[in-house]
Structure 1
Amino acid sequence: MHFNASDFPKMEKFFRRNFFNTLPGPRGLHLIGTKSHRGVENLGLFSSVVHIGATPPLLGFIMRPLTVPRQTYHHMKAQGFFTLNTVDETILAAAHQSSANYPIETSEFKAVGLTPVYSEIVPAPYVQESKVKIGLELVEEHHIKANGTLFLVGKIVEVILPDEVVSDSGHVAHQELGTLSVAGLDTYYKTEEVGKMEYPRP
C-alpha cells in the first residue's frame, strides 16, 4: 500500500481512525485516576503518556479537544493532581470498559469493579489492582493548534511498585509485571524484553 495526503480525506471514517491510531505501533497503556471537587472518583484509559525528563521527573500526555466535557481534565484542573496506573491482563477488561462514556456523577471505579486507594501524598485515587502506581502534580498545559488537543505535563511526586522489579541499574522490568501496551483503541499487546544494549558511544 502507498498513501499520500490526497488519499486521507477519502478514507472511510472508522478505517481512517483505526489506521492512523495503530500506525505508530503499540504504545504505553495507563489508567488515569482523578477526583472531582464533589468527591467523585474518575478513571480513564490513556495511551499517549510520554517521558519528558528525569531531573525533575516529568511525564506528559495528550488530552482530546475540550469540545465536550472531559472529566479527567476538569478534575485535574480542580485538584491539581492525578495518578497513572499500569494495566496488565488481570485488569484489562475493566480498564477497557472504563473508556465508556459514563455520566459525570458515576465513578468509573465502581462501574468497572476496580478499587480506589489513596496515599498520604497524592489526593487523587490510585488503582489498587495496578502494579505500578505513579502520582503526579499537574504543572503545565500546552494547546496544540493543529488539532485542538492539549498536552498536559505532570511532575512525578510518588511512585509505588514491587521492589523486585527494579534492578540495581534502575531499570523497571515491565515484562515481569505483565505490563500491556495498545495500538489504536482496542488492540492490546504483551511486553517482552528482546535484549539490553550497551550505552552507544562513537
Structure 2
Amino acid sequence: MHLQKDEIEKLERTYKLNLINSLSGVKPANLIGTKSKDGKDNVAIFSSVVHLGSSPAQLAFIMRPQSEIPRDTYPNILETEFYTINHVSESFIEKAHYTSAKLKKGESEFDRMKLEKEFIAGFHAPFVKDSPVKIGMKHLESIPLPNGCLFVIGSVEMLVLPDEAINNLGQLDLQHSSGIGISGLNTYYGLTRLASFPYVREEEIPDFE
C-alpha cells in the first residue's frame, strides 16, 4: 500500500479511522478515574498517556474535543483538580474497553462494568482496585491542540505499585504486572520484555555490522 495525502482523505471513513489510529503502534492502556464534587464516580479508558518529566514528576494525556454536552472525565478534573491513572492488566481488558461507552451523565462506569474502585490515603479520586499500577494525579494545565483536542498535564501526587515489579534501578517491569497495550481503537496486545540496554554513551556504542 502506498497512499498520498489526497488518497488518504478519500478513504472510507471507518477504514481511514482504523488505519490512522493504528499508525502510531502499540500505546499504553490506562483507566482514568475521577469523582465529581457531588461524589459521582467516573472511569474511562485512554491510550494517550505520556511521560513529560521526572523532576518534577509529570504525565499528560490527550482529551478529545469537548462537545456542548461534555463527558464526565474532564469536567470532573476541572472541578476537583484530581484524577487517577490506572494501568490496565490482562485480567480486566474487556471491562476496561467498555468504559469507552457513552453512558448517561452521572452514571458510573465502575458500577456498569463491575470494576471495583478503591480510595487510598484520602485521595479524592477513585483508583481501580485490580490495577497493578495506580497513579494519583493533580491537574496543572490544559493546552489546546490544533485539532481541538486538549493536552492535559498533571503532577504525580501518589504511586501505588507492587515492590516486586520494580528492579534495583527503579524500572517497572510491565510484563510482571501483566500490562497491556492498545493498537488503534479496540485491539489489545500483551507485553513481553525483550531486552534491556545500558544508558548510551558514544564511546560505548558497539561496532554494528
Same fold (TM over 0.5): yes
CA-CA distance at 1:178 after TM superposition: 0.6
Which of structure 1's runs of 4+ aligned residues deviate more than 2 A? none
What is the correspondence of 1:14-33 to structure 2 with a 5 Å cutoff? Answer: 14-33=14-33
2:66 pairs with 1:66:
yes
Q: 2:164 & 2:171 partners in 1: Cα distance?
A: 11
Once the 2 structures are TM-superposed, how far is the Cα of residue 120 of structure 1 from its aligned partner? 2.1
CA distance in 2, matches of 1:124, 1:182: 24
Letter aligned with residue 16 of structure 1: K
Distance across 1 between alignment mates of 2:143 and 2:116: 31
Instruction: Kindly indicate whether the alpha-carbon contact (under 8 Å) linking 1:65 and 1:148 is maintained by their aligned counterparts in 2.
Output: yes
Please say which of residues 64-73 and 158-167 is displaced more in the overlay: 64-73
Q: What secondary structure does 1:15 align onto?
A: helix
* Fraction of identical pairs, as percent: 37
CA drift at 1:24: 1.0
Given that 2:72 and 2:106 are in contact with CA atoms closer than 8 Å, whether structure 1 keeps it comes out as no
> Do residues 134 (structure 1) and 135 (structure 2) align?
yes
- State the number of aligned residues: 201
Is 1:182–2:182 an aligned residue pair? yes
Partners of 1:201 and 1:10 lie apart in 2 by: 46
Q: SS of the residue aligned with 1:73?
A: helix
Q: Distance in 1 between matches of 2:37 and 2:11?
A: 42
Give me the whole-angstrom Cα distance separating, in 2, the residues matched to 1:2 and 1:96: 32
Q: What's the secondary structure of 1:78's corresponding residue?
A: helix
Indicate the RMSD between aligned Cα atoms, in angstroms: 0.9
TM-score of the two chains, using structure 2 as the length reference:
0.94
Please list the CA deviations of residues 127-169 of structure 1 after superposition, one character each: whole Å capped at 9, or x if unmatched: 001110000000011001x210000001001000111011110
Rg larger for:
2
Would you say 1:107 and 2:88 are equivalent positions? no
The separation in 2 between residues aligned to 1:12 and 1:154, in whole angstroms, is: 37
Unaligned runs of 5+ in 2: 203-209
Please tell me whether the aligned partners of residues 121 and 158 of structure 1 are also in contact (alpha carbons under 8 angstroms). no
* CA drift at 1:104: 1.1
Report the secondary structure of 2:100's partner residue: coil
8 Å CA contact 2:42, 2:72 repeated in 1: yes
Q: Contact conserved, 2:165 with 2:176, CA < 8 A, in 1?
A: yes
Instruction: Tell me how far apart the structure 2 counterparts of residues 36 and 142 of structure 1 sit (CA, whole Å).
Output: 22
| 8 Å contact kept, 2:136–2:158 | yes
Q: Distance in 2 between matches of 1:184 and 1:73?
A: 22
Corresponding residue for residue 195 of structure 1: 195
**Structure 2 equivalent of residue 173 of structure 1:** 173
AA in 2 matched with 1:200: V
Alpha-carbon offset, residue 122 of structure 1:
2.0
In structure 2, give the amino acid aligned to 1:141. S
Structure 1 gaps of 5+ residues are none
Partner of 1:3: 3
**Corresponding position of 2:120:** 119
Letter of the structure 2 residue corresponding to residue 57 of structure 1: A
* SS at structure 1 position matched to 2:198: coil
